[in-house]
């Protein structure tokens, strides 16, 4: 099966530019589940699926063990894995930082050259219109989007990421960026975790908007919330 691709503007390119620089990116059909990999291995090797699962669990266990000890781990002929570190604060003088403020961060994988060569597909085709990457609307400025959101929350107890995207025309990543940025700035509050995360007005904002001097409710019923897509 041929691989599909589309074009996206180079990050940092402004929407106002008439001819923004573009770069090609694969359009995937969704993630291939690990169960499919197991099934293919069992079919081609003769190993039972349970055996394959057991081996992979051991690989994961011992890979994480050595990474947690600060080692760089070779994973077959595919990649090398090593942990990144993160400081608890900005460092200007290494003498001012202590080991207690340094912690493990994300794990970084570096694929091998041989594995990269094996992953190179031979056939590429431009994706059809219905599968093209969708772009966020530039209809509203950030200030206008915030105004729309505030007006919405005056009429509704909460908003989801999907609802905010429909309200403003933003795609998923941009909508998340807006909402989480306003939570960080304490313009919004939030409850729950994805895919059930909702965004609300902070208690003080609710009190001001309703003229209620009492405290806002501590909880919001979320049983009937639909997963955010």
- 203 compared with 16, residue with greater pLDDT: 203
Residue 162: pLDDT band with limits 50, 70, 90:
confident
Q: What local confidence, expressed as pLDDT, does residue 178 receive?
A: 93
Q: Average pLDDT of 162-170?
A: 86
Q: What local confidence, expressed as pLDDT, does residue 203 receive?
A: 79
Is 78 a residue whose pLDDT tops 90? yes
As a whole number of angstroms, the distance between CA 212 and CA 181 comes to 27
Contact 54, 38 (CB under 8 A): no
pLDDT in tens, 85-98: 988 777 777 777 67
As a whole number of angstroms, the distance between CA 202 and CA 185 comes to 11
Q: What local confidence, expressed as pLDDT, does residue 131 receive?
A: 64
Write out the two tokens for 194. 């994805």
Beginning with the edge strand found earlier in the chain, give each strand of the sheet holding 73-75 in spatial order: 73-75, 79-87, 102-111
Q: Which domains does the chain have, with CATH numbers?
A: 142-210 (1.10.10.10)
Write out the two tokens for 161. 């990421």
Q: Which of 110-119, 158-167, 185-194, 216-225 has the weakest average pLDDT?
A: 216-225
**Partners of residue 83 on adjacent β-strands:** 107
As a whole number of angstroms, the distance between CA 21 and CA 72 comes to 37
Q: Can you tell me which residue has the tokens 């955010």?
A: 228
pLDDT in tens, 130-140: 666 666 667 78
- By the 10 Å C-beta count (0-12 exposed, 13-18 middle, 19+ buried), 199 is classed as buried
Q: What local confidence, expressed as pLDDT, does residue 171 receive?
A: 80
Q: Average pLDDT of 52-60?
A: 96
What are the distances in angstroms from CA 67 to CA 53, 60, 80, 98? 21, 11, 10, 21
Write out the two tokens for 146. 């915030």
Q: What local confidence, expressed as pLDDT, does residue 16 receive?
A: 57
Contact 164, 45 (CB under 8 A): no
pLDDT in tens, 142-151: 999 999 999 9
The pLDDT mean for the chain works out to 82
- By the 10 Å C-beta count (0-12 exposed, 13-18 middle, 19+ buried), 6 is classed as middle
Q: What phi, psi does 60 have (nearest 5°)? A: -60, -45
Residue 185: pLDDT band with limits 50, 70, 90:
very high
Is 173 a residue whose pLDDT tops 90? no
Write out the two tokens for 199. 């965004």
Q: Can you tell me which residue has the tokens 């950030």?
A: 142
- 8 compared with 214, residue with greater pLDDT: 8
As a whole number of angstroms, the distance between CA 111 and CA 80 comes to 6
Q: Write down how long the chain is.
A: 229
**Partners of residue 23 on adjacent β-strands:** 8
- 10 compared with 179, residue with greater pLDDT: 179
Q: What pTM was estimated for this model as a whole? A: 0.55
């Amino acid at each position: 099966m041929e691989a599909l691709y589309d074009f996206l503007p180079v990050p940092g390119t402004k929407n106002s530019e008439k001819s923004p620089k573009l770069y090609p990116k694969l359009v995937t059909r969704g993630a291939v589940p690990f169960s499919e990999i197991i099934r293919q291995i069992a079919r081609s090797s003769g190993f039972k699926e349970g055996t394959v699962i057991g081996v992979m669990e051991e690989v994961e266990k011992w890979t994480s063990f050595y990474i947690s000890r600060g080692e760089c781990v070779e994973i077959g002929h595919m990649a090398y894995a090593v942990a990144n570190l993160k400081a608890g604060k900005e460092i200007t003088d290494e003498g001012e930082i202590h080991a207690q403020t340094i912690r493990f961060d994300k794990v970084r994988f570096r694929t091998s050259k041989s594995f990269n060569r094996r992953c190179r597909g031979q056939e590429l085709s431009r994706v059809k219109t219905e599968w093209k990457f969708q772009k966020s609307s530039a209809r509203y400025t950030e200030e206008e989007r915030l105004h729309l959101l505030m007006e919405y929350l005056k009429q509704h107890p909460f908003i989801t990421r999907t609802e905010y995207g429909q309200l403003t025309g933003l795609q998923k990543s941009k909508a998340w960026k807006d909402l989480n940025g306003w939570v960080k700035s304490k313009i919004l509050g939030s409850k729950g975790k994805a895919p059930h995360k909702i965004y609300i007005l902070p208690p003080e904002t609710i009190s001001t908007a309703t003229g209620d001097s009492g405290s806002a409710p501590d909880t919001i019923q979320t049983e009937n919330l639909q997963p955010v897509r």
